[in-house]
Amino acid sequence: MTKQNRNIIFTTIAIDKETDRIIEKLCKRYSLKKGEITKLAFLYLDKANINPSEALESTKAELKKINKRQDDIIRFIRHYEEEQLNPMIRTSNSIATRFENIAKSMEDVILSHLKANQEGQSNLLKLLSDKLTEHANAINHQSKQISSVAQVQQGGNKKMLKLIALYSELATCGVMEGKKKETLKTEIVNLINSQ
């Protein structure tokens, strides 16, 4: 180990007193030596792809970006509702209207047959029962499909809300929270890739 330390060539850099005070303060806060904190700072800048000559964006600008992302996600959810759920609701409504029209027409047929023939009355009631059972089964089947799609949509909405929360948390991470950022990024990727 001592051989390795002998092979390291140290260099010096000139800094002003104000910068030296900042480094001293950070050294005390994190219990590090000046060389260690300088090395870690440069490694962080390199890893995070931060250009120190560029001014940092304000918190207001970052919040505006997050709000834009949230608005985009909300627009996507509304578009999905328009494209997927609303047509199903309209289909269900048309089935109910058709069922109502069929029931009215069957009622008219029954009344005319009751007046014309007492014996045909029992046959028509049986026919009506069969038709209503078929339509009720069709409506129940449509209802189950709509219910299952609503459950899938609800799961998708929960996933979207979780993604929004993770992106918001990621956006609010501080400069020194590299591990937390990586954990959040991994969690976001896993959530996006999950079925």
Tens of pLDDT, residue by residue over 89-113, are: 888 888 888 888 888 888 888 877 6
Q: Are residues 80 and 44 in the same domain?
A: no
Q: Are residues 81 and 151 in the same domain?
A: yes
Q: Are residues 76 and 170 in the same domain?
A: yes
- Domain of residue 116: give its range: 58-193
Domain limit, last residue, from 11, 29, 54: 54
Q: Are residues 86 and 168 in the same domain?
A: yes
Tens of pLDDT, residue by residue over 26-77, are: 999 999 999 899 999 889 888 878 777 776 666 677 788 888 889 888 988 8
Q: Are residues 30 and 107 in the same domain?
A: no
Task: Evaluate whether 168 touches 184 at the Cβ level (below 8 Å).
Answer: no
* CA–CA distance, 69 with 72 (Å, rounded to integer): 5
Q: Are residues 22 and 65 in the same domain?
A: no
Tens of pLDDT, residue by residue over 115-163, are: 777 666 677 778 888 888 888 888 888 888 888 877 777 877 787 777 7
Task: Evaluate whether 161 touches 77 at the Cβ level (below 8 Å).
Answer: no
Residue listed under structure tokens 């918001």:
168
Q: Are residues 44 and 103 in the same domain?
A: no
pLDDT beyond 60 at 14: yes
Q: Are residues 46 and 64 in the same domain?
A: no
